[in-house]
Structure formats: structure tokens, C-alpha cells
């Protein structure tokens, strides 16, 4: 079983409009709702790939109830979310059909009490006993200690479970020091962590700070990985336009899938890039286009960095 942790789950809502103009009213042509938050997106992609996967984190309020109902309708992910008194946040993606561009609005999430945090820690330790790998994903809701991910990384390592960390800012800085097996920052998060805007230098610096392997997401330029086994740059076969929401989460799913199947790093990166690109092509946030995934996988280029 692969475990994904989403402390700040979300109900992802995607609006499609003919075009998006500031200071104007818009007629929405299509609305979709999906269970979301980074780790939930990761879990849904893993389940679609055929993996056994469990999701945990916090959930509460009306949006949280809808999230759980939608998660139950989706085939695959097991719901091990911890109920809280606050309300799960909503994220709004507004997609312009004219340009294909997406505008994202993210709510902050519920206030987590010390008792709720303690309940989650107990659930997390229980779930680790049956996990082949764990992904710690996304932002921290209010009330959760800033060093939470560092704590969760250490707990996973003590249990002998490989851990991937995908977050940003101070939670990433502290989490890296706890020596996760993989971190997956994007270019901005990597620059904030290291102070360097040169991708290879920044990725190497991030690894020196404690991560066993660093996989940096470079947007349309693919993934750059620095690992104990080598350095690689994986790029998609062509640049694509679409909704990038969830593309990074699909990359995490590809990395976890390859990790649990003990694939060589170039194959893990190919899978991650193909899934990420297929997600950009999909019409709704957090989905991936299965029809083109195989085609993309065959076309990914992986070179030594």
C-alpha cells in the first residue's frame, strides 16, 4: 500500500469560461468538482495506475463532506482521513477556453486544534505499518506546527518506510533537514530553499541540505533529478497547453509508482513526465488523459544532466 498525506485537503472546483476578463461578469460553461489537495490528487493518479493507495489528512465541514463522497465514488483510494471541527477549504480554478490559461484561487484551510493534530499523529503511525512508501504533500493548515513535515519524515524513516516530501517554504526547509528519501520542489520552491536560480546548482544544493534525492519540476522543461545513482534531465516530447493544476501531483505519483516497483531512475522520471504532461492535457484539475499517456511515455527524452 502507498500512503499519501494531505494535511490541507481541498474540494477542487473548476470553472470553464469563454474568456477571462478582469472587472467583468462571466458565464460559466462547465463546472466540475473533484476531491483535492496535493496528496489526494497523487492518490487518485496512483489508483488509476493500479496501485493500492490510502489517503489521510484532515477533513471537515460541508466541503469536506462532499470531498469524502466524491472520494468514495472514485475507484481505488481508501479514505483514512481524520475529521476536524473546521471546514475543508475550496480551491477554484477558472479556465479560459480562449487562451487555455488557468487562474487559481486557494482558500487557507481549517484551524487545527492540538487534540486534532494528536489524533492525526496516531492515525499516521498506524497507517505506516502497512505502507510501502509515503508521500507528504502540500501546505499546512492553520494550527499545524511549522515543523510538522520534519516530524512526519522522521517517523516514517524510523518505521523503515521511504518518504517523498512535496511542500514549500519553511515546512520544506525544516523537512529537508530530516533527510527524506525524495523531495520534489518546483523551480520557485527550489530557488526559495537554496537562494539559487540555476536549476542544476540549486538541485545539488538542496540534496546537500539533507534530501537523499532531489527531483526538481521545471514546468514545460520537464524534471531535473540529482540522486546517489546519477543526474538526469527528463523532458516531454512536445510543449503542451492546458490546465496545469495537478500536473506536479501526477509527477509525484509517477515517482512513487516507480519507487515501489523498483524501477531505474530514468524510467521513474519518464513515467513522471508522461503523467504530468497528460494531466496538463486533461480538461479537469487533477485528472490525466489516459488515451495519450502511453504515447507520451514512449516520447519522453531522458539525458544525463
CB atoms within 10 A of CB 301: 12
Catalytic residue among 12, 166, 181, 249: 249
The angle formed by the CA atoms of residues 283, 199 and 197, to the nearest 5 degrees, is: 100
Count other C-beta atoms under 10 Å from residue 226's C-beta: 23
Residues paired with 38 in a beta bridge: none
Nearest to 88 by CA among 64, 118, 72, 71: 64
Is 249 labeled as catalytic in the residue annotation? yes
Dihedral sign computed on CA atoms, order 158, 159, 160, 161: negative
Question: Which residues, in sequence order, are bridge partners of residue 96?
Answer: 17
The burial class, CB within 10 Å (0-12 / 13-18 / 19+), for 285 is buried
C-alpha cell read off for 251: 509527477
Which sequence positions are flagged as catalytic?
A: 249
Amino acid at each position: 500500500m502507498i500512503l499519501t498525506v494531505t494535511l490541507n485537503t481541498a474540494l477542487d472546483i473548476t470553472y470553464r469560461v469563454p474568456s477571462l476578463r478582469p472587472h467583468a461578469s462571466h458565464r460559466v460553461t462547465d463546472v466540475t468538482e473533484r476531491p483535492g489537495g496535493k496528496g489526494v490528487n497523487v492518490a487518485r493518479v496512483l489508483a488509476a495506475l493500479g496501485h493500492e493507495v490510502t489517503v489521510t489528512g484532515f477533513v471537515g465541514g460541508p466541503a469536506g463532506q462532499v470531498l469524502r463522497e466524491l472520494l468514495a465514488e472514485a475507484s481505488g483510494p481508501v479514505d483514512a482521513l481524520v475529521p476536524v471541527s473546521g471546514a475543508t477549504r475550496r480551491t477554484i480554478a477558472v479556465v479560459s477556453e480562449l487562451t487555455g490559461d488557468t487562474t487559481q484561487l486557494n482558500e487557507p484551510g481549517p484551524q487545527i486544534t492540538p487534540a486534532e493534530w494528536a489524533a492525526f499523529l496516531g492515525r499516521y503511525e498506524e497507517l505506516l505499518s502497512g505502507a510501502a512508501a509515503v508521500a507528504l504533500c502540500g501546505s499546512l493548515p492553520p494550527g499545524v506546527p511549522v515543523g510538522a513535515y520534519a516530524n512526519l519524515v522522521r517517523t516514517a524513516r524510523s518505521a523503515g518506510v521511504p518518504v517523498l516530501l512535496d511542500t514549500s517554504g519553511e515546512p520544506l526547509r525544516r523537512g529537508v533537514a530530516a533527510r527524506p528519501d525524495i523531495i520534489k520542489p518546483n523551480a520557485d520552491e527550489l530557488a526559495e530553499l537554496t537562494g539559487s536560480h540555476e536549476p542544476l546548482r540549486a538541485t545539488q544544493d538542496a540534496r546537500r541540505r539533507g534530501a537523499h534525492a532531489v527531483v526538481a519540476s521545471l514546468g514545460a522543461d520537464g524534471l531535473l533529478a540529482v540522486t546517489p545513482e546519477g543526474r538526469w534531465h527528463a523532458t516531454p516530447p512536445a510543449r503542451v497547453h492546458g490546465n496545469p493544476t495537478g500536473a506536479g501531483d501526477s509527477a509525484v505519483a509517477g515517482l512513487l509508482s516507480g519507487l515501489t516497483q523498483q524501477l531505474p531512475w530514468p524510467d521513474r522520471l519518464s513515467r513522471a513526465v508522461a503523467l504530468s504532461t497528460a494531466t496538463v492535457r486533461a480538461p479537469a484539475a487533477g485528472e490525466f488523459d489516459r488515451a495519450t499517456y502511453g504515447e507520451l511515455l514512449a516520447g519522453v527524452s531522458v539525458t544525463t544532466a
